[in-house]
Amino acid sequence: QVQLQESGPGLVKSSGTLSLTCAVSGDSISSTHWWTWVRQPPGEGLEWIGEIFHSGRTNYNPSLESRVTISVDTSKNHFSLELKSMTAADTAVYYCARDTFLSYWGRGILVTVSS
Amino acid sequence: DIVMTQSPDSLAVSLGERATINCTSSQSVLYSANNKNYLGWHQQKAGQSPKLLIFWASTRESGVPDRFSGSGSGTDFTLTISSLQAEDVGVYYCQQYYTTPYTFGRGTKLEIK
């Protein structure tokens, strides 16, 4: 069974950089799937951040593109998210998921930006 | 960006009755080369991560009860729950994956009447 698990700090300082990792089990990150990050501010809807293929090809949301980097580590079977210059508006639950249509989701990790 | 508009924002339905949620995209998500609609539906229960119910507009994900069905093509889509169960309470989102940035509707909150 495919499982995804986010990990990283739950608190980031304003203007700092968020670094999250998504560990994949039950599937190879080198398989023919895209690997995705989505976020959800408290009490709000879903926002697509971006995606990566195992080759390293990426697609990003233009609204975040200047601040975001998604990378993949095939040896560890995980992929990562880096978001720079964090502000209060970036406070959200961050999810990792598989495929463009988000067939499997992680449980999510709440990231709060502190001043 | 493709804008996804869901209606209604909230919906209260009696147990055993039909629930219908609509989703409209600002441009077609039908890819003519393969005749597939790049439209999915996700269910999010309170305190949980979303769960995929439907992809390609009408294909039910494995393990999803057959009371859930998706229909529509082009720009207009519908999620139908044929006989509402108590465990169906939550927020439902449509999502287009036709072109990046992939986008979601604002969600429809489904409750028991």
Asked if the C-beta of B93 comes within 8 angstroms of chain A's C-beta atoms, the answer is yes
Report the DSSP pairing between strands B108-112 and B10-13: parallel
Q: What is the mean pLDDT of chain A?
A: 97
CA distances for B87 relative to B14, B43, B65, B66, B81, angstroms: 13, 11, 11, 14, 12
Mean pLDDT confidence for A13-42: 96
Neighbours of A31 (CB within 10 A): 11
pLDDT tens readout for residues B59-90: 999 999 999 999 999 999 999 999 999 999 99
* Partner residue opposite B50 with nearest CB, options A46, A47, A51: A46
Q: Which residue of B has its CA nearest to A44?
A: B106
Confidence band for A115, pLDDT divided at 50, 70 and 90 = confident
Min distance B34 CA to chain A CA atoms (Å): 16
Asked if the C-beta of A61 comes within 8 angstroms of chain B's C-beta atoms, the answer is yes
Mean pLDDT confidence for A28-42: 96
Mean pLDDT confidence for B22-42: 98
Nearest Cα to Cα of residue A47 among B37, B93, B91: B93
pLDDT tens readout for residues A75-111: 999 999 999 999 999 999 999 999 999 999 999 999 9
Nearest Cα to Cα of residue B21 among B45, B37, B5, B1: B5
pLDDT at A63 over 90: yes
Asked if the C-beta of A46 comes within 8 angstroms of chain B's C-beta atoms, the answer is yes
Min distance B97 CA to chain A CA atoms (Å): 6
Bond into B50 cis (ω within 30): no
